[in-house]
Each structure stands twice: as C-alpha cells, then as structure tokens.
Structure 1
Amino acid sequence: MELDAMPQLSARALAASSNGVLIADARQPSCPIIYANPAFCRITGYGQDELLGRDCLFLQDTDGEQAAAALPALRRAMAGGEDARMVLRSQRKDGTPFWNDLFLSPVPDQHGELAHYIGIVTDITELKEREQRLAFHSTHDRVTGLPNRHLFTDRLQQALLQAQRHGGQLALLCIGIDNYAFINESLGHAGGDQLLAGAAERLRASVRSDDTVALLGGNEFVVILGDVASPSDAISVCETIFAALAPAFTLQGQQVHASASIGIVLSPQDGRDGATLLRYADMALTRARELGGAHYQFFASEMNHRTLERIGMEAALRLAVFREELQLRYQPLADLRSGAVASLEALVRWQHPVLGLIPAQRFVPVAEEAGLIGAIGAWVLRRACHDLRAWRDAGLAPVRVAVNVSPKQCRDRQFAAQVAAALDAFGLPPSALALEITEAALPQETAAGADQLQLLEPLKTLGVALVLDDFGTGYSSLSNLKRYAFDAVKIDCAFIRDIVTDSGDAALSKTIISMAHLLGMQVVAEGVESEAQCDFLRRHSCDLIQGYFFAAPLTPDEVQTLLREDRRLSPHLLRVQKQQRTLLLVDDEQNIVSSLKRLLRRDEYQIHTANSGQEGLDVLARHAVDVIVSDQRMPGMLGADFLRKAKELYPDTLRIMLSGYTELQSVTDAVNEGAIYKFLTKPWEDEQLRGHIAEAFRLKEIADENERLNLELRTVNHELASANRRLEDVLRQKQQQISRDEISLNVARELLQHLPLPVIGMDDLGMIAFINAAADHLFRGGGALLGNEACVVLPELFPAGDGFEAMASGSRRAPGTHEADIDGVRFAVDVYPMGASSTSRGSLITLSRKEEAA
C-alpha cells in the first residue's frame, strides 16, 4: 500500500519544495526540460508550458568571466554523466539577473543507462548581493561612496607606475573642508555626513571620469589627477572645485556655505612614492589653511623642513617642563585714571639651550597639538602664585596677576580645584589672580556648550577675576559678553594698531568700550605702542592699557623694581585732567608759518607746524591737537581735503582755513560737510586773527569740559554697573546657597521624621519648631505642640533648678542630660545646643527609654 502511494508522495514533495527542481532528458542532445516544479517556475518567472522542451541550460548568462569558467565545466560534467555543483548567474524571464546554487545529478534507468538529469536550484541572489555590498564597503566609504584609504593606495600606486612607464607626471590634491568642524558641531553628525556626501558628489563632477576622488577619513578628500601636463592643469582643477563648492548646501533643512583648502603635490618633482606624496600634500594643505582657508598651495621643500623642525621642537618641549627651561615674563597694565600699575599679565617663555628665548606663539601651538598644554598651564599657574607670594613677602603693594588659560584647561572639570589649591599653597587670596580666556576657548551654543558653560561657574564662585582675551576676533563676541560673567575684556591689538589713523578701528574700539562699560566690565587695550594711541584711549574712557608704550614684559626682579619705584603714566595721559592748549599751523610757505608763530606765541599755545596736508596728518597722529589753522592751496593735498580728512580722523578738533585764494566749490563743500569751522582770508589783521583763534579754543574747552563731565558720568555709571554686577553675583551665590541649605534641611527633616527615637527641635526663643513622628506619637495627648513654648507645653522635660529651663528659653550652654517620667515610662532626655559648627540656632531634644539606654 505504501509502495503504491510513493509516486504520488514524490510528486507532492517535488511540488511543495521551496527549491527549484527540474528534470532534463539526458538521451536527447539538447537535454530538454521534461519537468519543472512550481518553485522553479517562481524563481525563473516562466510557466511550465514555457519551460518544457527547452535546453536545460538556456537560463544561464553566457557573458562575463563567471560564465566562461562555469558553463564549460557544467557541460563536461553532463557529458561524463557526473554530479556537478556550482554557482551560476542566470536570467529570469523579465531579463533581470539572479544567482543560483545549482546541484545537477545524473539519473540512470532500470538498466543502469543515463536517462535523465535532475537539477536542484537554490536562489542565492540576496546572499550574493550582501557579499557584494560587504566587498564594496571594504574598499569604499559608507557615507560618500568614494574609495577609502585602502583602495586609494592601490590606485595611487597604479597611477605612479603608469606615469613612470610613459614618462608623464601626475598631481595629488589633498582637500580639506574649512568649516566642517563647526558645521559638525552645530548641526550634529548627521549634518556633517550630509556635507561630506554633497561635497563628494561635487568633487566627482569637477574631475575627469578616469581621475580618482577618495575620502581618507575625517573631512579630507584626495584627488589623483593623471597625465598632468603642467602645474596650471592642477590649478585649473582647483578653481573648478572652488566654483563647484561655492553654492550653498542644504543640511538638516538649512542653507549652509562651505569652502575648501587644497594642498598640491606633483610627481615625480615632489616624490615618487605614495606615502611621501600624501605626506607632502597634507603639509601643503596645512599651509593653505594657515593662509585663511579657501586657498590652494603647492608643496615646497621648506614645508618639510618646517615640519621636521616642529617635530624636533615637540621632542625638546617634552623635556623643557622637567628641565625647568620655562620662564615667566610679566607685562604691566597701567590704569588710565591713576597712571599706576593696576595688574600684570604672566607670559610664558622657553629658554631653549640652543635657540635662546622662544616666545609663546612659537611653541604653544606645538604644545597644544602634542597634548602638553595642560602641564605647561599648571606650571604657569603655580609659578605665577610663587612670584606673587615673593613680591608680597618683599613688602611690595599687592598686585593682581593674570594667567592665560588654554581651551583644554577650560574644559577640565578639575581646573577650579587646581586654581584653589595653588592659591592655598602660597597663601594668596583669590583676588590676587585673574584668568584670561580667549573666545576660541569658550564653548559654543550647543547642548555640549551649555554643559561646558557650568565649568566657569566654580571659578567665579572661587573669587578669581575672569578676563575675555582678544575680544573681537571670535565669531560670537556679542553673545559671549552676555553669556559669561567676565570682569574685564581686552581689545585685541589688531584694533589698536591703527586706531588713530583708521576710522573703522576707532569706531569699533569706542563701541567695545561703551558696551563693556554698560555691562559693568573694565576694558583693557592690548598692544599700545604710542602716545597717540594712549591719548585716544584716554579720551574715550578706556580703563587700562597694556603694551610697549608703558612697559615691555619684565622678569620677576624687574617687576620688583617697577613696583618699588611706583612708575606711572605721565599726568597728561590720564583720563581726567586739564590739557594745555595745542595749535597746529599748516602752510606750504615757511614765512607764513613763522609769522603766525610769532603772532601767537604771546597767547602761550603749544604750537606744532607742518608744510603740507600729509605732514599735518602725521603731526595729528603723534600729538593731541585742539585747533588747526590751514592754508587752502598746498602741493599734494588741498587744505579743504586735509581738513576733511582731519575731521574724519580727529572730529574733536576745531578747524580754521586761512587762505589768500578762494576755490569756491571746494571750500563750500568743506564748510557744508562741517570740515571748516571758520574761513579767514590773507592777509590777516593780527588782533582779529588772534580773537578768532582764542574763540575757537574757548569753544574747544567748553566741549572738553562737557566731555570731561560726560566722562565722569560714564565712569560713575560704569562703577554702578560693576557694583550691580557684583551684587547680582552675590545674590546668585546666596540663592544657590539657600537652595543647597533647603535641600540639606529637607533631607535632615526627612531623616529625623523617620527616626524611631522621639526628637523635638526648638528655635533660639525656646519655641517648638519641629517634632518628628515618634515624638508626636509620644505626646499625642498633650494637644498642639508646634509654635508653643517648650517649657510650657512640655514642663516634664525641663526640671526646675537644673538649668534646662534656661535652655528652653534659648540660652546657649553645653549639652545636658537628665531623666523624666512620661506616662509612667522613664526616659533619658538629651539636649543638644546647635550652632557650634554651623549657623543653625536653637536646640535639639532627644528622648530614649531608660531601659533602652541601659
């Protein structure tokens, strides 16, 4: 019975199989298909009637290396009547390819002769595609789809061999996205990946199809340009890349612009092996970035020399800290109100045994890259505290020292503790120290930045001053003034250098001073090197100056001498003082200048002279001038043009034209623009001219007096703003302390509430302020207790004559113990006065059963 059912069972099994099954007639030359199960039809897309009678190998792909190897092997196996198993690439009815694992087996007839072939087909397309994806990702970047370092290295080697074989040259471009780090931080990794993918697409479109674009990691792309005829070919590609990257990218729904810097090397000129070329291209990229970004830079041998020098400097710097080769110099800051030294900035120097004294800007970047800046910063902090202690021990007046803080120190959660430990080690108050922080070290307005912002709070709580260094050079200057509780800002020397000749720098400096004062901060001007710069800052209410005009960086011994001598600024450079009347005479005729000097000498003016408009501007740059008297016709620059320029640069001056010629349009324009206060003609009448000039000085003195009053008012407002800022800091700290105390109190209340021991708390007047659950249960029959006098509602706890009634009324005395009967139970009563080690007032009473105490 079972044998009779076997054919039907076999047929059903073949039909139900998930593997494709076909049977071919081996007795015919084409081995036609005589059976195909449903799974085979589903895999191939053919119906049974379309398959029957066709060559069993008709599905196989005959193109490609795989077909060339697999099909002949399959036919040989079939011709020999042997089993065969192999992976084949086939085609479905609709033309789409698929991979199948084919097992072909011969089937003999009852006489042992080969009669049929049975083939079992397994669709492994998904497996093969997964293998192909894995193979692709092993050689390509997942984000951009570009070749990765491994594949790039192979292609570079092939390109070099081809260039050497044909005597040609190739170019290697190393491309870095300039603002990738900022975009990645602002928009997150998703935004950074979008930028890389978009940049990769544009780079591929910027080069030839046979050139290679790869991503080596991070945000650095490399391009291999084969068959480069001259450097101009590489330059042309760079310009194409710049143009391709210029349009905005859409990242996380925002329009963002990006630029690139490019380093270029040529082979064989710069090197013949891939590793050298890549290293040199990276050096050229670094130089391009140093130029400010959006530049291309060819490699030069000097770059390699500079890199080797940097490596040597790093090695020597690692030993410098331990060999005590570092030194501190101190540059004084002068107060523009008193003229005295207000504070010092500690500047680290490296006394190299061969190269001599090396300034910080040469080795600090190396230290940051090498991870040494933390050790150097810690040494600077302790050395500055050591010198401060030495000056105080020498009897010098206390002076504050500012120490520069690196970005790494700013992000260190232990930094505030390190500062406190250094101050404590040398017995210094926090007010003796200021910390200068650059804008680059400040966290940005991100979630991570908000967390880092809290790292500055302990420093402020400690009591050290915080100074924002190099103000104006960062990209978020205004927000930094608002977000951080700085005590002072330092105007970067880049704005001070041309402050008396550049109206833009002058306007920026005045704006910074006003903003800082409104926020209650002091203002320090860095890089002050001339009296004219100092005078400008004095007149516009700057608080402190720092620079070679007052003093160069000094050794600790030189600082002692400076402080002992009490060196100060000249009185005429102080913010509030009466200036001598100063007059500038400008005329190209020397005899006119001499005549005017003789005429005006009796009026006791300080007189400066010039013989041209440019000479006059030079005098104004060096000296503060109240009134200007200028001729009109002068070589090189008309008097109207000179006075117009003087008004632009020195608007506080009063300007008079004294001329024998009247070029009506030029003079009219100057008058209308406010460049000329009065127009007088030659020849002049002596007393009339003296009167006009004296009147000009009177007007100038009125303006100066108004400015002085305004300055005093601004000074008072600044001091009020500073006081308000300090009060806000104190209030914030008090609120934080109250919050902490409340938390501690709640924890203590919770703890006492759950104690099985009865506890009663009294305030300093003997009123019951607290009673825990155990005590409330013990005295539940005594009525309301809270808010009542303890000795009245609980007299059994305060026996007369033992002094405990005094304790109940708030008197402070040592802890005491006595016994009391409460509802027939004997209790030991312990009273603990509070406030011995805290600001708490009142007393705590605890009760314990006598038998428990025993």
Structure 2
Amino acid sequence: MDPVDDAVAELLLYQPLVDLRNGAVASLEAVVRQPHGAAGEQLLRRTCLDRRLWDGGVLAGAEVQVAINVGAQQLHDPAFGPAVAALLEQHGLDPRALTLELTEATLLKDAAASDAALDFFKRIGTCLVLDQFGTGPASLANLRRFPFDFIKIDARFVREAVVNHSAGALTKAIIAMAHNMGIRVVAEGVDTEAQCAFLREHLCDLIQGDFYAPPLPPAEVGELLRADRRLAPHLLRTQTRHRSLLLVDDEANILSALKRLLRPDGYEIRTAASGEEGLELLAQHSFDVIVSDQRMPGMDGADFLRQARNLRPDTIRIMLSGYTELQSVTDAVNEGAIFKFLTKPWNDEQLRHHLAEAFRLKEIADDNERLNMEVRTANHELASANRRMEQLLHHMQRQIHRDEISLNIAREILQHLPLPVIGMDEDGMIAFINAAAGRVLRRSGALLGNDAGSALPELFPAAGITLPPLGHQASIDGLRYAVTVYPMGERSAARGSLITLSRCEEDA
C-alpha cells in the first residue's frame, strides 16, 4: 500500500448512521481526526478502499453508504466529479454507495458551479446531504433548488429537543417540512435513548451519535457490521414498545413493596427516590406509565408530574399517596398532569387493575400513533417518489434543452456548408435541406415533408429502395453528382440519414 494511504488510514474514523425503520447501519460518515492532515483526494481514495473491503468481507450485499464532507474548493473544481466517478469505477463501487455532505455556505460560494456539480452527481446516482441544517440561512428556496436526498439536523438542536420545548418544536417542524418536500432527515448528536425516542416518534429517518456508536477505526467498523448490531426494538418506528413503568417515592420500603407486587405483571420497572431523580431518568429513557408519591422532600409529586407531562406528554401519570395537599392535587388533575389519584395503603388488586387500565389506554394511544405513523410514512415515501420524479424530469428537460441547442448549432453549420446536404427521417421523409442543396434542387419544388423517393427520383434509380445505393451518381439539371449516404444512429439516438451531393470531377 502507498505510504500516503497508510498515513491517511491512521487519521480516518467512521461514525455509523442508523435507520430508525429497522435499527441497522445505513451509512458511515468519514471523520478525520486532524482535518488538515490529508488532502481530499487521498481521503476519498482511502474511503473507497475501505468501503470496498467491507463490501467483500462483511456487508454481504447490504447497501451501506459511505459519506464524505466536501468543501467549496473541491465541489467547484470541474475535475472533481469525473475524478470521483473514476475512483468509484476503479474500486468497483456503485455511485449509490457514496454520499456527499455539503453545507449551505459551500453551495452559495458559487451557486452556478454548485448547480453544475450537483447535477453531475445526481446523474450518476450519488446521494446528496445538506449538512448542519439550522445553523445557517437554511433558505427553503435552496432546498428546492438543489437536489438533496437528505438534510442533517445540527447536533445542538437534537441535544436540546427533549429538554427545551422550543428546540423540540423546531426539530419537529424541520422533520415535517423536509418530509413534505420529499427529503429524508438525519439527526446528528444523538447521545441518549430519550433523544432517539423523540426522533423516532416524530419520524426522523436516520440518527447519528454516540448513543449507537462513536466514530470508529475501519477495523472496528468491520466488526460492528459483521455483528449486525441494531437498535433495540422499542426504539424503531415499526415495533411495539415494551411496557415500561417508573416508580417515584422517597421511601425505599414502598418502592420495594411495589416492585414485588408488580413484577409478575411483566412490566419493565425503574425506580427513583425523588422527583429530581425521576426527571433525570425521564430525560434519558421513555416510559409508558409513571406512579409517583405526593409527599416527597424538595419537589412534591404534583410538581414532579407537571414537569413529567411537559417532558414526556405521552406518559400515563398516577399519583399514589397517604397524604393529600388538596389544592395542589386538584390543580394537577385539572391541568391534565394526573390520570388517577390513589391512596395509601393501597389495595393490591385495585392497584394492579388501575395500572392494567393505564397500560391499556397507553397501548390504544400507541396503536393510534403507529397507524398515524404508517400514514405519515406512506405520505413521506410518496413525497420522496414525487421529488425523485421531479428531479428526473428536471434532468430530462435540461438534457432536451442541451440537445436542442446542439441540434440548432448543427443545423446552422449545415446551412452554411457549401456542400449540398439533405436530411431524411427513418420513414424516408425529407426533414432538412441546407441552402446549397436548395440551390441545386431548386427545380424540384417544395421538398420538406415529402417522401424523398417521390420528390427526388433521380437519387433513387431503383423503385422501392429506401436509400440511394453506394457509389451512385445522379444527374440534376444536366450536371453529375456523386450521392453519398450517412445512416444515423451508430453513435447517438438519432434516426434517419444524411445525403450529400458532390459534383463529379468531369463536370466541375
């Protein structure tokens, strides 16, 4: 191996991006430990080599992409696209195995050059990601202008989404907006289960962060892919969540008694000795039902459940207490923070019945959420398909425009040639006559749109033939012309043929 490649390999790590539909690794972002330690071409070459090694050793046909970050200097270099295509071909990689991540600032340094570069990469099938979404101008016009497949929500929004209402609302709005435009969404900086659960609930497509795995060296990436490690089923968009219960009480004997009573019912039970500790658990994990004591030192149960509702609005919240400060409990009930209020000492069967009812209501809500999620997912897939069709139509229109320009140039060149040229379509109709041919055939009358064999019988000496014979000479107005035929379609999608007339030497 090239010593330069060895040096680059020491700098290169890969962080997985995980699909929330199936919990599997969908992509790997190349991360450089020392961003100025290697040139972009070296990194790209090494990335292609690593991807090829995984493809042969551990992927077994899985469509795992590799993402690289591209700066303005690379993107706007006319040689960059062809160089990438050549590297992919050299390593036997499908262009769809590569993802290019770009920031909006990179694109806007030269929007016209960005248009051309992104058009090239979309034509060969490369995936495009708008990175650091939310940190720059984030213009909706740019989302429509450039053919992105994904946007990546910046980590600072993701980390605050479950603890800050405004950040959570913004994250949800970004996901909904992108999906309505047919663009999929990646969330980076996902470090906790709570963040993952929030993103799953709001239909984020991929997550990236230390919750699943930090950036890893290539060998460890190979081990991870070989093991096919996936997210837990309850964190996936298409799986039923486990029945999880959080018990909050400052008395250890009460918590122990509740756990003994409820363990046979199959709940996943976590406990907290205070409201503050309960909120810490809620920030890290999702729960279906919460049971809290009212009278606790520091934060009382009503205040805890209010904050729990704000943090996890989809939970079912129950208060269990032998002491009641009536006003705070009444307020909490009226505000919707409490589903039921139960007293100590409790009746075992009644408590189990109330909890079973709470979980039943939660399961109904989850079923409704799943149905809603399936509809939203189907709508998102439809929007994505429409976006791909729009992009395809856009590329076809641009190609048609380019072809029309080329055709007009070719027609103009042929018009000015001193050599008589006649164009026939595939059915033998006259489609084009340049000025020189018009002068030679001026006595033949109107020719365009007529059958060539009928309008120009001197070019077709034998009845029924569709093209003049090779080496044929024709007499036109007493002058001899050599007739040469050039069938179209050998190197293009053109059909028909071109016929040229050259004065024979004895007549010249």
TM-score normalised by L of structure 1: 0.55
Contact map agreement 2:5 2:42 (CA 8 A) in 1: no
Q: Does 1:692 align with 2:376?
A: no
Q: 1:680 matched to which residue of 2?
A: 342
Q: How far off is 1:718 after superposition? A: 1.7
Establish whether residue 758 from structure 1 lines up as the match of residue 420 from structure 2: yes
Question: Cα deviations across residues 350-382 of structure 1 (Å, max 9, x unaligned)?
Answer: xxxxxxxxx33xxx3xx4xxxxx8x62221112
Amino acid at match of 1:383: R
1:835 is matched with which residue? 489
Deviations 1:59-90 (A, max 9, x none): xxxxxxxxxxxxxxxxxxxxxxxxxxxxxxxx
Matching of residue 428 in structure 1 with residue 93 in structure 2: yes
Aligned to 2:251: 589
In the alignment, is the contact (CA less than 8 A) between 1:816 and 1:832 conserved in 2? no
Task: Please say if 1:633 is aligned against 2:331.
Answer: no
Aligned to 2:480: 826
Say if 2:233 and 2:240, in contact at 8 Å, map to a contact too.
no
Change (3 A) 1:475 1:741: closer
Residue 347, structure 1, aligned to residue 31, structure 2: yes
Alignment check: 8 A CA contact 2:289 2:317 kept: yes
Q: Pick which of 657-666 and 708-717 moved more.
A: 657-666
Are residues 772 and 481 of structure 1, via their aligned partners in 2, closer, same or farther at CA, if it must alter by over 3 Å? Answer: closer
Letter in 2 for 1:832: Y
Partner of 1:524: 186
Secondary structure of 2:472's counterpart equals: strand
CA deviations on 1:617-663 (whole Å, 9 max, x unpaired) are 22323332111121211111111100000011101101122223332
Question: How many residues align structurally?
Answer: 503
Match of 2:446 among 767, 772, 784: 784
Q: Tell me the distance in 1 between the aligned counterparts of 2:49 and 2:162.
A: 39
Superposition map of 1:488-637 within 5 A: 488-637=150-299
The answer to whether residue 321 in structure 2 is matched with residue 659 in structure 1 is yes
Q: Superposed, which structure 2 residues align to 1:187-336 within 5 Å? A: 324=7, 327-336=11-20
- Indicate whether 1:408 and 2:73 are aligned: yes
Matches of 2:247 and 2:270, distance apart in 1: 6
1:330-479 correspondence to structure 2 within 5 Å: 330-348=14-32, 359-360=33-34, 364=35, 367=36, 376-394=39-57, 396=59, 397=61, 398-443=63-108, 454-476=116-138
Evaluate the alpha carbon distance shift between residue 401 and residue 673 of structure 1 in structure 2; reply closer, same or farther with a 3 A threshold: same
Alignment partners' CA distance in 2, 1:421 and 1:603: 61
- Secondary structure in 1 matching 2:214: coil
Amino acid at match of 2:501: L
CA distance in 2, matches of 1:853, 1:525: 79
Is the 1:513–1:523 contact (alpha carbons within 8 Å) kept by the matching residues of 2?
yes
- Map of 1:812 onto structure 2: none
Query: Which segments of 5 or more consecutive residues in structure 2 lack a partner in the other structure?
Result: none
Larger Rg: 1
TM-score by length of 2: 0.90
Alignment CA distance shift 1:322-1:487 (3 Å): closer
Q: How has the CA–CA distance of structure 1 residues 517 and 852 changed in structure 2, closer, same or farther, with 3 Å as cutoff?
A: farther
Q: What value does the CA root-mean-square deviation take over the aligned residues?
A: 2.7
1:453 positional shift: 5.4
2: CA distance between counterparts of 1:512 and 1:838?
Answer: 45
> Contact 2:76 / 2:113 at 8 angstroms: preserved in 1?
no
Displacement of 1:340: 1.6
Give CA deviations for 1:250-273 in whole Å, capped at 9, x if unaligned. xxxxxxxxxxxxxxxxxxxxxxxx
Letter aligned with residue 499 of structure 2: I
Query: Is the Cα–Cα contact under 8 Å of residues 377 and 406 in structure 1 kept in the other structure?
Result: no
Q: Output the CA distance in 1 between the equivalents of 2:427 and 2:55.
A: 48
Deviation at 1:828, TM superposition (A): 1.4
The alignment partner of 1:324 has SS state of: helix
Find the aligned partners of 1:408 and 1:825 in 2 and give their Cα distance.
62
Which deviates more from structure 2 when the two are superposed, residues 496-505 or residues 514-523?
A: 496-505
Q: CA deviation at 1:664?
A: 2.4
Question: Paired residue for 1:805?
Answer: 465
CA contact (8 A) 1:321 1:376 kept: no
Could you tell me which amino acid in structure 1 is paired with residue 7 of structure 2? E
Deviations 1:744-802 (A, max 9, x none): 1111111222222222111111111112222223333333222222122222212227x
Shift of 1:480: 4.5
CA distance in 1, matches of 2:491, 2:29: 40
Q: Sort the Cα spacing of 1:395 and 1:585 in 2 relative to 1 into closer, same or farther, 3 A.
A: closer
Q: 1:601 to 1:472 in 2, by over 3 A?
A: same
Deviations 1:440-472 (A, max 9, x none): 43426xxx6566655544343443222122222
- Matched residue type, 1:833: P
Structure 1 residues 346, 827: CA separation in 2 closer, same or farther (over 3 Å shift)?
same
Identity %: 64
Displacement after TM superposition at 1:695 (Å): 2.1
Conserved 8 A contact 2:235-2:241: no
How far does the alpha carbon of each residue in 1:284-307 deviate from its partner, in whole angstroms, 9 at most, with x for none? xxxxxxxxxxxxxxxxxxxxxxxx
1:704 positional shift: 0.8
Change (3 A) 1:572 1:762: same
